[in-house]
Amino acid sequence: MQRQYVRIAGTIAEKVILALEEMGPDKRLFGAGRETAARGLRRELVAVMPTPSAGMLADACNRYLATMPDRGSSAPQVERISTFDGSVTMRAGTRA
């Protein structure tokens, strides 16, 4: 069962990274930084699995994203993750 969660978390992590890249270039997500972000997102997601809560999945991603350097309150945040297909909705960062 744990292997399944790691696979699902990897899919969600990749979608979060792709969504961030679509919002604009981020030099922290190139090369090794991209893989580091994917590992960090997977770790946070697996920690809350299994969960039927899209909000808990989004919060897990945002916990990792908050640890990235130079992430101010205007940095994009994960708003929602579909528990059906893992699709990701981002929002402009407005978190206080």
pTM: 0.84
Sorted by sequence, the CB contacts under 8 Å of residue 3 that are 6+ apart come out as none
Q: 82 in a domain, yes or no?
A: yes
Q: Per residue in 2-17, pLDDT tens?
A: 889 999 999 999 999 9
Q: 20 in a domain, yes or no?
A: yes
Neighbours of 36 (CB within 10 A): 13
Residue 17, SS3 per DSSP: helix
Q: 96 in a domain, yes or no?
A: no
Q: What's the domain range around 33?
A: 2-91
Q: 43 in a domain, yes or no?
A: yes
- Looking at the structure of the chain, the number of domains it has is 1
Q: Per residue in 22-48, pLDDT tens?
A: 877 666 676 778 899 999 999 999 999
51-88 burial string, b = 16+ CB within 10 Å, else e? eeebeebbebbbbbbeebeebeeebbbbeebebeebeb
Sorted by sequence, the CB contacts under 8 Å of residue 38 that are 6+ apart come out as 10, 13, 14, 17
